[in-house]
Amino acid sequence: MLVPTDQIKMIEKSFILVLSCLGIAQAVFLCFYLFTLKEGNRLANRFLGLVLLGLTVRIGKSIVYNYIFLEPWIRNLGLSGVLITGPFLWLYGKALFKQLKSFDRPYYLHLIPWIFFVLLSGVIPNRGDFLSYLFFSMIFIHFGIYIGMSWGYLVKISQEAAPKLLQWYRVVVTGVSVIWLLYMGIFVRVIPFYILGAISFSFLVYLFSYLLLKRHVFTLEKYTRSNLDRSTSKKLLQRVKGLFEKEETYLDSNISLKDVAEKLSVPSRDISQAINEHEQKNFSEFVNHYRIEKAKTLLAAPDYRQEKIATVAFDCGFGNVTSFNLTFKAATRMTPSEYRYRFFTV
């Protein structure tokens, strides 16, 4: 039985509406979460909340206008959202990397275009004529300038900022840039699908939700107050690696971060930062990496062919066989026995 074309279109519109509204609902939740969050960098959290709020207002207007008629002044209020998104995207980066400690008076100047547009929303033309497109062009250019400033700021701090924090900000700027490019495509009529911006926003919001709630951003801020710069932390990491490779300290099943710090006469926090920043691992993961590499060598060695897996585990610094098996399989996708079998099959 064939489904009528009108019914198919109705189903498609309903699906798009639900997907878009879910994105808006999630964005509102994230805004509330960021505005009320007391952990981490509170100023940066609020700025990110304002970035999302500006996009939510803009996208929300698109969703509603795609289904019902809106008065020009309401459409203008919706468009005004991007006039705060751009400035706060740039300010978010400065706050995130501790180069902005408070929202001082000079920064209010960046909100003048938004204030102007909101106050005059009732008289600014929005009727599809040349003057209307001129105002829209100015809004998109304004937004684009701040996106460019954000990318420029990323390049400027790329050599001194913590890699994970830098990666997070890059994700945020990239996501906002994609939204801007989509709406630019719609504006110049290269993209005919008007609601595409709202759909992409939904995916962007859920990506932000995952990164914020699953791998919380203020865990990335852990070392932003440290006086250890990237160059020094990289040299420290080389010292740690040298210690592991020469003395094989990782073979001690009771080795701790404090033990390594005492051997190198440096604070434990500095070693943790060096490993986290350059290896993207915590101390335990870093130690286990060396242990697994040692285990792979022993499992492939003829002298260890007849040794039990438990012996290999203990000789590599693991406290028990279960932990060894789980860690080894996670790293190699094979059990120790399967790995050994590869080398000694006839």
* Continuous H helices in 158-267: 163-187, 196-209, 217-220, 230-247, 257-264
Specify the pLDDT at position 179. Answer: 84
Specify the pLDDT at position 227. Answer: 65
Q: Tens digit of pLDDT for each residue in 2-23?
A: 445 666 566 666 766 676 777 7
Contacts of residue 169, Cβ cutoff 8 Å, sequence gap at least 6: 92, 93, 96, 97, 154
Specify the pLDDT at position 138. Answer: 92
CA 81 to each of CA 14, 98, 118, 335: distance values in angstroms, whole numbers, following the listed order = 25, 26, 9, 54
- Reduced DSSP (H G I as helix, E B as strand, rest coil) percent helix, strand, coil of the chain, to 5: 75, 0, 25
DSSP code, position 210: I
Q: Which SS3 state, helix, strand or coil, does residue 69 take?
A: coil
CATH number of 230-341: 1.10.10.60
Specify the pLDDT at position 69. Answer: 82
Where exactly are the structural domains of the chain? 5-220, 230-341
pLDDT < 70 regions, the chain: 1-13, 15-17, 19, 192-199, 201, 210-227, 344-346
Specify the pLDDT at position 225. Answer: 58
Specify the pLDDT at position 274. Answer: 85
Architecture of domain 5-220: Up-down Bundle (1.20)
b/e sequence 176-214, b meaning 16+ C-beta within 10 Å: bbebbebbbebeeeeeeeebbbbbbbbebbeebeebbee
Specify the pLDDT at position 326. Answer: 93
CA–CA gap between residue 169 and residue 257 (Å, rounded)? 29
Specify the pLDDT at position 2. Answer: 45
Specify the pLDDT at position 291. Answer: 94
Specify the pLDDT at position 203. Answer: 74
